[in-house]
Amino acid sequence: MSTFSIIGKRIPKPDAIPKATGQIIYGHDVKVPRMLYGKILRSPLPHARILHIDTSRAERLSGVKAVITAKDLPPRRFGYGRDRTPLKGDKVRRCGDEVAAVAAIDEDIAEEALELIRVEYDPLPAVFDPQAALRPDAPLIHEDRESNLFRHQEYVHGEPDRALEEADVVVEDEFDLGYVQPAPLETSFCLAAFDASGKLTVWSTTQIPFLLQKDLSEALGIPGRDIRVIQTAIGGSFGRGLDMYSFEPICVWLARKAGRPVRLAFTRQEEFAVSEARQSMRIWARAGAMRDGRLWVREAKVLLDNGAYVSWGTVTTLVLMETIGSLYRVPHARVVYDSVYTNNPITGAVRGFGNPQGTFVVEVQMDRLAEAIGMDPLEFRLRNANRPFEETPQGIKITTCGLTECLEEAARRIGWSEKRAAPSRRGAIARGVGIAATMNVGGGARIYRSDGCGCIVKVDDFGRVTVLTGATEIGQGSDVVVVQIVAEELGIRPEEITIVNDDTAVTPWDVGVHASRTTFIAGNAALRAARQVKAQILETAEELLGASAAELELRDGYVRIREAPEQRIPFDKVVRARHFRQGGQVIIGHGWYDPHNEMLGPDGKGNISATYGFGAQAVEVEVDVETGKVRPLRVVSAHDVGRAINPMYVEGQIEGGTVMGLGYALSEHLQVHEGRVLNLTPFDYRMPTIMDAPPIETVIIETDDPEGPFGAKGVGEMGTNPTAAAVANAIYNAIGVRINSLPITPEKVLRALKERGS
Amino acid sequence: MKYPLTLKVNGETYRLEVKPHRSLLEVLRDELDLTGTNDGCRTGNCGACTVLVDGAPIPSCLMLALDAEGHEITTIEALSAGGELHPLQRAFVQRGAIQCGYCTPGMILSAYALLQENPRPTEAEVRRALVGNLCRCTGYVKIIEAVLAAAEEMASADVGSR
Ligand code: FES
Ligand code: FES
């Protein structure tokens, strides 16, 4: 039925071969002449006044080319909360706060220099509990603020108070969701170099190259137009690169002071100790339903621990609000949240961005409500599932929506009815199945003033097409998606396209890779640019073939007459015919796409995305009641992605996202004691290995979104969102205990079993 | 203080002078520009730095460069030396087993060592052989598929050539 020649094909990413052969250049691989190595001295204390910093001995160490402290930097603040300077001058607010930095001719000397810096601190009382941080007598972390409360917000639709009284059943729970980290395999990296005219080039692992220009400019006072950001190949990111963090302006300033390029790369320990984590949240929630199976009301109070500084990650509450307010049809809802400063590690963006937390609350309580009214949890979900082309009370305008199909497929393939009816138990091993759904922005997310992306498509005299896209590639496959879209539109092979996506001096603007937006937004921009190219080709082909553009098509490298395909001219010949003549023109198309979504109003309402992705995950687990160990046996993950431009990488997003979700559910946990991260290696952090990853069956449901490029919607975060809830529900099915705190470790399972008295 | 070191890597012999605490990983990357060997943790936790030492996969971050003298080191760069991809590389590319790619060289070398020993591994054997190689992107599904597919292809090519 499909008439596509390239869309829907399993084509490898253009950088797959260089990655398989070791030729690809990651940040860590880049060397430039005269390059120095930068290192940062960090605070060992969670909250302290800085009395004195003595850098004199470090400065005298041979091989040291620059030492900087806050005094050297312009007194400018940066970050989402405008609450920090790159180096801290007056006081430190978390373990790992940046106090001084050095650049030296090698790493050993840089490290030795750090040891020679003397810092005198006057320790201050610290606060690590977000609840305690809100008390009037709590130590104030930012003295220019009145309290440690960063933001309080309330969202309401319908009449939740009345609805809670009306509901036939109401469930109430407290959730405690711990810290996890994006933990990509490549650690954070920055290389900064000034040229002779004072212009700055930064090689970076950022996800936001164009906003990084702006952020660096704001933090350092360097004009944005003098900053060029080059993205090396990036060894994963998962949200880590969504903000600029202190190490980047520090690296730049070291380069300025030393007058030489400076490279700054985190060690793995540094990465765990100081890079931003997913917000830990405490959530108190109630939900109510009617006996006939109608979901009636939801209410959640959320306490979000920002840590010592606020990043874009604090906006996760908006996503959480959307999940609580709009996943399933819920006529009444209230979300109240406080986001709070503490002396804990800073938190930021991590894949899912508030959605895994929100989905955990919603989907655990969906199960509890179903049980309370005596309905099968799947049936209860289907009954209340969002439907296509309806607006939620929150103002979310759902277009395509395959939630029902996703739930049905995931349930069918896991063997829901049989397994659910008889959770098995053999010896100490109990088995159970659980399900959870997700809704995620799939058509951008307007949290910034522009949600756009630009694209330029040019064709050389030989028919080689170059695509310049603002879209950032972090491994997910935006490169191949953009290539496939352009190839499809121009009727050429993907191999004939070169993609350039790594240099702000060359590529058009994009807000960054986040919110599962790139396929949709960058894809639409590429489609628009390709359409211009196509129009130019057709205009010339009309003359050459003596047929009107409407009768022509681009296919297999030719322009041909649809009804008489033997009458055709090679693509590159048309290009030359247009170029080499009197008044000739070279072919260039450009596209800009900024979706018609809107920023949420102060009441939390609005249509934040141009379309929404839906999915459902069913998980079968095995629980050993003697050891408390939970083993996921199988996951079925069904997703409405609009259209899979490249099913192989759609599956890749789902599979990788699911294992990240399993880590969140069962093992990953940044252990923080009095503000200090204790587990600093992947082993201790318990990052999932190949032994922890169960078979995952991905089901792709195509709903052909009217606004998406060839019908596609975003998918990047959807695999991670529902997993923890599906696992928790499966555990309940297996052993009859609810664990509302993540990760669900063996200790917690055993404790819960003991409390229940089994 | 630097010490002389004769290192055999991918069939070539290098004469170097290195500090005694330098790991094999650092010397491969910094001295020999073999940047296909990636640096992910330097604590033996992630496998991104895997190389073959006399055919056995080891984390090069845990081996002192000076201890590598007298051994044959193989890095990812050797696998496609003739300009043609090794079947494992081809399978990883074609089956979507590569996303960010940071784990890929280590994964492929661990898998290569496995297939040398055990040309027709089961899925469980593939998992056991790759347990020291973390991947944060793929969820491992396509990596397992790729290794099994490459094994199949190599085994049937072997049969064919006999
Ligand atoms: S860098 Fe050697 S195991 Fe991670
Ligand atoms: S592909 Fe990114 S770590 Fe494996």
Q: What is the pLDDT of residues B6-54, one digit of tens each?
A: 999 999 999 999 999 999 999 999 999 999 999 999 999 999 999 999 9
Segment A515-524 mean pLDDT: 97
Average pLDDT, chain B: 96
Identify the band that residue A1 occupies on the pLDDT scale cut at 50, 70 and 90.
very low
Per-residue pLDDT tens over the stretch A547-582: 999 999 999 999 999 999 999 999 999 999 999 999
Using the mean position of ligand 1's atoms as its centre, give its distance from the Cα of residue A693 in Å. 20
> Contact at 8 Å (CB) between A460 and A649?
no
pTM for this one? 0.97
Q: Are residues B62 and B12 in the same domain?
A: yes
Smallest-distance ligand from the CA of A19: 2
Measured in angstroms, the CA of B22 and the nearest CA of chain A are apart by 10
Query: Ligand 1 pocket: which residues have CB below 6 Å?
Result: B 39-42, 44-49, 59, 61
- From the list A26, A682, A690, the residue facing B46 with the nearest CB is A682
Residue type, A627: T
| CB nearest B102 (choices: A108, A186, A682) | A186
Rounded to 5°, the CA angle A112-A78-A123 comes to 55
From CA A255, how far away is CA A194, in angstroms rounded? Answer: 7
Please give, rounded to a whole number of angstroms, the shortest distance from the CA of B135 to a CA of chain A: 7
A37 has pLDDT over 70: yes
Q: Which residues does chain A have within 8 Å of residue B143's beta carbon, measured at their own beta carbons?
A: 690
Taking contacts as CB-CB distances below 8 angstroms, the residues of chain B near A649 are: 96, 99
Task: Report strand pairing: B50-53 vs B72-74.
Answer: antiparallel
Please list, in sequence order, all residues whose beta carbon lies within 8 angstroms of the beta carbon of residue B85, skipping any fewer than 6 positions away. A17, A20, A21, B79, B93
Q: Ligand 2 centroid vs A676 CA: distance in angstroms?
A: 28
Would you place residue A175 in the very low, low, confident or very high pLDDT band (cuts 50, 70, 90)? very high
Q: What is the CATH number of the domain that holds B17?
A: 3.10.20.30
| Nearest-by-Cβ selection for B138 from A26, A655, A682 | A655
User: Residue A510 forms beta bridges with which residues?
Assistant: A453
Dihedral pair phi/psi, residue A66, rounded to 5°? -160, 140
Burial class (CB in 10 A: 0-12, 13-18, 19+), B69: middle
Which pLDDT score, from 0 to 100, does residue B157 have? 83
Among the candidates B78, B100, B126, a domain finishes at B78
A39-55 average pLDDT score: 98
Same domain for B12 and B58, yes or no, is yes
Complete DSSP assignment for A499-532: EE-SBTTTSPPB--S-TT-HHHHHHHHHHHHHHH
Decide: helix, strand or coil at residue A686: coil
Residue ranges making up the domain that contains B141: 85-160
**Element (H or E) spanning A754, and its range?**
helix A746-756
Note whether B56 and B90 are same-domain residues: no
Report angle CA A257, A260, A263 to the nearest 5 degrees: 95
Q: Atom 3 in ligand 2: which residue has the minimum CA distance?
A: B135
| Cβ neighbours of A166 (radius 10 Å) | 14
What are the angstrom distances between the C-alpha of A7 and each of A48, A468, A493, A529, A639? Answer: 57, 20, 11, 17, 18
Q: Which ligand is nearest to the CA of B103?
A: 2
Of 3.40.1190.20, 3.30.420.10, 3.30.365.10, 3.40.50.720, which CATH number belongs to A280-445+600-756? 3.30.365.10
| Listed residues B58, B78, B98: the one ending a domain | B78
Residue B83 pLDDT > 50: yes
Q: Does A7 touch chain B (CB under 8 A)?
A: no
Q: What is the pLDDT of residues B108-152, one digit of tens each?
A: 999 999 999 999 999 999 999 999 999 999 999 999 999 999 999
Short-list A537, A549, A552, CA closest to A586: A537
Quick one: angle between helices A355-372 and A316-326, nearest 10? 20
- pLDDT bucket at B160, cuts 50 / 70 / 90: low
CA of B158 vs chain A CAs: smallest distance (Å): 23
What is the C-alpha R_g of chain B? 16
Q: Given this model, what pLDDT does residue A607 score?
A: 97
B100/A682 touch (CB, cutoff 8 Å), yes or no: no
Looking at all shown ligands, the one closest to residue A13's CA atom is 2
Which CATH code fits A16-24+452-593? 3.30.365.10
Whole-number pLDDT of residue A542:
97
Q: What is the mean pLDDT of residues A213-220?
A: 97
Q: For chains A and B, what is the number of CB pairs under 8 angstroms? A: 170
CB-nearest to A185 from B29, B103, B140 is: B103
Q: A101 pLDDT exceeds 50?
A: yes
Domain count, chain B: 2
Query: Among all ligands shown, which has an atom nearest to the Cα of B146?
Result: 2
Query: Percent of chain A, pLDDT > 70?
Result: 100
Distance from CA of B147 to the nearest CA of A (A): 13
B103–A21 CB contact, under 8 Å: no
Q: Which of A185, A186, A238 maximizes ligand 2 atoms within 8 Å of its Cβ, making it the mutation to test the pocket?
A: A185
Q: Which residues pair with A191 in a beta bridge?
A: A203, A263
State the virtual CA torsion across A259, A260, A261, A264 in degrees, nearest 10.
-80
Q: Which residues pair with A589 in a beta bridge?
A: A457
Assign domain A31-124+203-237+241-255 one CATH number from 3.30.9.10, 3.40.47.10, 3.90.1170.50, 3.10.580.10: 3.90.1170.50
User: What local confidence, expressed as pLDDT, does residue A758 receive?
Assistant: 56
DSSP state, residue A667: I
Domain CATH code at residue B118: 1.10.150.120
Name the residue among B43, B76, B138 with its Cβ closest to that of A652: B138
Q: Which helix (H) or strand (E) holds A430?
A: strand A429-441
pLDDT at A423: 75
Report CA(B104)–ligand 2 centroid distance (Å).
7
The number of the ligand 2 atom at minimal distance from the alpha carbon of B143 is 4
Residue B72 sits in the same domain as residue B94: no
CA of B44, nearest ligand number: 1
| Residues whose beta carbon lies within 6 Å of some atom of ligand 2 | A 185, 236, 475; B 98-103, 135-138
Helical H runs in A400-477? 403-414, 416-421
Q: Does A87 touch chain B (CB under 8 A)?
A: no
B70 & B112 share domain: no
For residues B101 and B37, membership in a common domain is answered with: no
Please, are residues A486 and A502 in contact by the beta-carbon 8 Å criterion? Answer: no
Closest ligand 2 atom number to CA of residue A235: 2
Cβ <8 Å between B144 and A690: yes
Q: Which of B78, B98, B127 marks a domain boundary?
A: B78
Closest approach of chain A CAs to the CA of B149, in angstroms? 16
Candidates A185, A481, A617, A668: best to mutate against B (most CBs of B within 10 A) is A185
Please give the mean pLDDT across all residues of chain A.
Answer: 97
Nearest-CA residue of chain A relative to B97? A652
Taking the Cβ of residue A156 and every Cβ of chain B, the question of whether any pair is shorter than 8 Å is answered with no
Residues of B in contact with A16 (CB under 8 A): 92-93, 98, 101
What is the residue extent of each domain of chain A?
Answer: 16-24+452-593, 31-124+203-237+241-255, 280-445+600-756
Taking the CA of residue A298 and the nearest CA in chain B, the distance in Å comes to: 33
Q: A501 C-alpha vs ligand 1 centroid, how far in Å?
A: 29
Instruction: Please give the average per-residue pLDDT across A639-667, as a whole number.
Output: 98
CA A433 to chain centre: 28
Calpha distance A411→B114 (Å, rounded) = 37
Amino acid identity, residue A235? G
Do B97 and B33 belong together in one domain? Answer: no
CA of B48 to the centre of ligand 2 (A): 9
B97 and B49 in one domain? no
Which of A13, A679, A690 is the best residue to mutate to test the B interface, defined by the most B CB atoms within 10 Å of its own CB?
A: A690
Are residues B54 and B99 both part of a single domain? Answer: no
From the list A22, A690, A691, the residue facing B76 with the nearest CB is A22
Asked if B100 lies within 8 A of A186 by C-beta distance, the reply is: yes
For the segment B92-98, the average pLDDT, to the nearest whole number, is 98
Measured between alpha carbons, how far is A46 from A308 in angstroms, rounded to an integer?
9
